Structures are given as structure tokens and as C-alpha cells.
Amino acid sequence: MGFEALSYLIGRWTDESRTGEPGTSTGGGETWHLALDGGILEREAWCEYPARGDQPAFRHEDLLVVFVDPDSEVRAMFWDNQGHTIRYRDVHPDPDGKGVGFVSDPTVPGPRQWLQYRFEEPDRLSAVFSIHGPGAPGFAPYLRWASTRVGARSP
């Protein structure tokens, strides 16, 4: 698999909703584009959260870079402005072709992460970011969002 299974994501997206452990965001979105002459696929994302209890308002920003490694396997790396780094070792299309999953490297210590996108025509997507903590029975949703494409779909 190259980036074909991810081509639906290319473009600019605005959040309809984003809810989960950090709270409910007041706005957000993401942009997917090919870079380095098509050698990588980048996602730049952001969302804003209002103050909640003792937690001040904050803006989350992240970068996800999808690439093909020397063994021709699709991988991804994630970084955010809160100091998190995730190495996604398993990047795979859903069997029905209407989504893609990113599963973190099981050899890295700490909780595992699973990012699942579902492609919903026309020009909508939904996503779930789940965490599998040490000793937990499985992945549990941490954050869910739905987005709409802004502008025309890229060819």
C-alpha cells in the first residue's frame, strides 16, 4: 500500500464536533497534503478547548507524517505541542476501503494508540483516537471527531 488508501483525506477539513477526555472543542480542523514531491503525506491539525474546572483553555496542535519505509511498509510519526510522540507501525486500509487505521508500535514502552478514520461520502469523515493502557483489556476511545471537507476534493 502506498498513499492510495489515504487519498480521500487530502484537502482541508473543518471539525463539526470533537469530544473526549480533554472536553468538547470550540473549533478545530486538519489539512492533509503530499510533500517532498509526493514522498510523504502530512497532516497538520489543531483544536481549541475552553477552560474546564482547574484546567485553563488551551490549543492543541499536531503534525502526522506518513511515509513508506525502506522495506516498502507504510508507517507514520506523530508529534504535538504537548510533547507527545507516537510511532505508528501499522498503517492499513479498512477491508471495505472506506477508512484507514494507524496502530502504534507495540515495541515502544507505554500505552498503545489507535487512530481510526472512516470516510463518509460526500466529503465527510469521522475519526476515533483510542488508547490501550498497560493492564487494560483493550483500546478505549479517548477522542472522537467528525469533519467536513472545505472546498473541492483534490483529484
pLDDT per residue as tens digits for the range 97-128: 999 999 999 998 889 999 999 999 889 999 99
Per DSSP bridges, beta strands 112-120 and 99-104 are antiparallel
Reading the block at residue 90, the C-alpha cell is: 501499522
Q: Determine the pLDDT at residue 155.
A: 56
Q: What is the pLDDT of residues 89-98, one digit of tens each?
A: 999 999 999 9
CATH code, residues 4-49+57-150: 2.40.128.20
Cβ(111)–Cβ(133) below 8 Å: yes
Reported confidence tier of residue 153, pLDDT bands at 50, 70, 90:
confident
